[in-house]
Chain A
Amino acid sequence: MNTRREFFKTGLALGAAVSLARWSRLSAAESPTPVVPAPGPESPRSVLVAVRDGTRTAMVDKALASLGGIGAFVKAGQTVCLKPNIGWDAPPERGANTHPELVGHLVRLCLAAGAKSVSVFDNTCDQWQLTYEHSGIAQAAREAGARVVNGKDESLYREVDIPGGVKLKRALVHTLVLDSDVLLNVPVLKHHSGTGMTAAMKNLMGCVWDRGFYHQNNVHQAIVDFLTLRKPTLNILDAYHPMVRNGPRGKTVNDVVEMRTLMASTDPVALDAAAAKMLGLEPAGVAYIKIADEMKIGTMDLARVEIRRFSLA
């Protein structure tokens, strides 16, 4: 165990150095400031902002203000890929997808911050046009000025190496995820019959073409492996009315519980750990959170996280 952990530590430190250099070089072409530093062994404590009892827009505004505003993440002229959870052909009130109101608001904020373009997509589970429309996300994103991009077009995916991956070493990844300056991960919190829960890290499964590969090759490990390729610039979790059973698709509105909460962090592991607690789960009991912690993608130890709690009530 120890040697394995150490192997990951050194490997990831090296990998992080290389990949961070790569991403900062990429964004340097567009703007002088690199993206927000990702938490690693040497970086400062992860910050997690948790807001409750407000509207989705008020809560995300509060969370962003606490993190230095949208401008800390999106610079003028940058291209933004906003990745909500648009998995299922279900209306917003079922909580199966990220709420359209949150997506629309974030698109507007990015554009107001001077983003060159904001693109929204997901590799949906249900038929994609129906899912985009019935989730309300296509319309909300469209009206806010985003490009709504097909996630079911294989030609828009590019095969890349994932050097830090243990199981997922090579994958077809959507070019929006690979090429955008900013990756905003905007998941929804749900129970999940396969992995226990889904929030920030599992949402990124929709960036990859072949979902079946994840399931064939230890889904938990593959979820974490992807994070070694690209970590989102920022993760914003919609926990307004999480689906607490029958997930991830859900059956009726009876599966959701109103918690009126929104959380944001650059550390997807810390965010998922807090999210697990919202569903009454222990973070270490969710295999992919534990693996991500071990691989130093972030920390699941909330005692080591700076949690900023706000109530808008």
Chain B
Amino acid sequence: MRGRGLKILRVAGAAVVFAGLTAALVDFRGAVPGLVGHTFASIQFVPSAVALATGAGVALACLVVLAVTFAVGRIYCSVICPLGILQDLATRIAGWIWPKKRPRPYRPASTIVRQAFLWGAVVGVAAGWAGLTLSLLDPYSVFGRIAADLFRPAVTLVNNALVGTVGRFTGEALYRVAPAWAGAGALAVPAAMLLFVAGLAAWRGRLYCNTVCPVGTVLGFVSARGAWRLAIDQAACRKCGDCLRVCKAQCIDLRHGVIDASRCVDCYNCIGACSEHGIAYRWSWTRPRAEPATATAAAAPIDLQRRAFVTASAAALTTAAGVGSWAMTRVVAEVAAGPSSAPPADTSPNRSDVICPPGAGGVDQFLNRCTACHLCLSACPTHVLQPAFLEYGFAGLLKPRLDYAGAFCNFDCRRCAEVCPDGALSILTLADKQVTRIGAAQLNLDNCIVKTKGTDCAACSEHCPTKAVDTVPYGNNLRLPQVNADLCIGCGACEYACPAKPRKAITVAGRRTHERAIRRVEEKAKDPRRAGEFPF
């Protein structure tokens, strides 16, 4: 009964985390409070580690995860990690589609593959590609993109179909929303990952977690040395194989009566499956150097594994150091040489072709810290945040950027920073956000309708929240836009609103390092009426 209880706890915990995160990520109408997504995202291992390592916040979740893993195993992988839970769902659905009882025999660990991915990640981080490496390999971020980029628009379509069946004016309870599909390039990555991860899960359970996922490898390294581990009571075991049928990780070596704790994700399926109650937690911790007494049969392979591990580690660390110093010299050289291509209209040396969200500090810092989980994309009420494809370059693959073609950044909103779990976006006070210059408006009056057509327009000035874009009298009772660069924060309202075709008359150039705009304070306005209280 104790075994079933553990499994119920595991499933309940996973359901809560998965439901909360999924709700926040597929939220297509701003219904889920930012705190929900932020909370469940902040307990994820990699975002928390990034925040802690960069000093963006006192993010202790990663240390708690390590401690729990050391104590009782990889509960993180079964309860907290949404990609792990997604794989369990995929395995289950595959089981419904192909219902034959497929045997899941013990398979030895793919130590080489695991370490290749882990050290690949370490080398990537050391080489100054932390943002890209972690965004590709962090299981939470992989899930975030699947949910935000694929599930969210799909759910939106279902919603719209539902609205269609109910009627036209359904009011506020149910309404149509334009599905937020990312561009083809940015969409291809999560789509491929979904197929890959779900395919592996359908085929062999938690294979992804025990080969590709570097978090799984790190936690596996810890859990293999953990205090309490699941163990088989040799006296009770009849070697019936019931546990093998339910094991997701294929980590039960029944022949030797050993469970490979480095791959066990603590799903507790085996405990309930064992009719002899032969599987339970057992105090297993021993001092690292005093272990040969345990199992002579298992000693040789473990030693080999350890040797391979140490060799690989040494090789990887050397490579990392080498690549890291090479990257550093390049950065230094680039800084010395200045930007490689001449900027077109905007002459600021701080110009960037891509615009990153307020709170990021600047493009470089942002790309280093953001793991592209896309929680902010789902939270952004205007959907001005779109996943980049190669706009930032390869290092910025899938990272959020502001796209003013279809929306602009709401002046009074900070939701992206409120949900961000890894400190890539720090929460500015609203007053600070409203003077943070992420870009600067560039006016090209040759394209402006007021000039080209000789009619009023000023849609740019109309939308400008700081009145950096204002109008001045022009021609015969017309108003011509004018930009006061000091006041501009680069929110993109002007660019979005500009109706000039084929080229807009006002566009926003990004700022590589965010700047501070001036807030112009105006006195109380005077009554413009010329005569009396009814001037007519």
Contact = CB atoms under 8 A, between A and B. Distances in A.
Interface residues of A, number: 62
B466 A194 contact: no
Contact of A278 (B381, B479, B535): B535
Nearest to B454: A218
Q: Looking at B169, B470, B536, which has the most chain A CB atoms within 10 Å of its CB?
A: B536
B526 interface: yes
Contacts of A302: 536
A138 B462 CA distance: 23
A131 B436 CA distance: 22
A251 B522 contact: yes
B499 interface: yes
Interface string A119-161: 1000001110110001000100010000111100101100000
B245 interface: no
B462 A127 contact: no
A194 B534 contact: no
Interface string B454-466: 0111110111111
Interface of A is mostly: mixed
Interface stretch (B195-203, B223-231, B409-417): B409-417
B239 interface: no
B465 A251 contact: yes
A254 B522 contact: yes
Contact of A156 (B168, B410, B525, B533): B168
B467 interface: yes
Interface string A222-261: 0000000000000000000000111011011011110101
B534 A52 contact: yes
Interface in A165-212: 175-176, 192-196, 211-212
B257 interface: no
Interface in A32-90: 50, 52-53, 89
Given A150-B176, A249-B463, A257-B528, A194 B168 contact: no
23 contacts: A89-B410, A89-B411, A125-B462, A125-B463, A125-B497, A126-B410, A127-B410, A148-B172, A149-B171, A156-B168, A175-B168, A192-B462, A193-B470, A194-B457, A244-B528, A245-B522, A251-B522, A256-B525, A257-B526, A278-B528, A280-B528, A280-B530, A309-B534
Interface of A: 50, 52-53, 89, 119, 125-127, 129-130, 134, 138, 142, 147-150, 153, 155-156, 175-176, 192-196, 211-213, 215-221, 244-246, 248-249, 251-252, 254-257, 259, 261, 273-274, 277-280, 285, 287, 302, 307, 309, 311
Interface of B: 29-30, 168-169, 171-172, 175-176, 381-382, 407, 410-413, 449, 453, 455-459, 461-467, 470-471, 477, 479, 497, 499-501, 522-530, 533-536
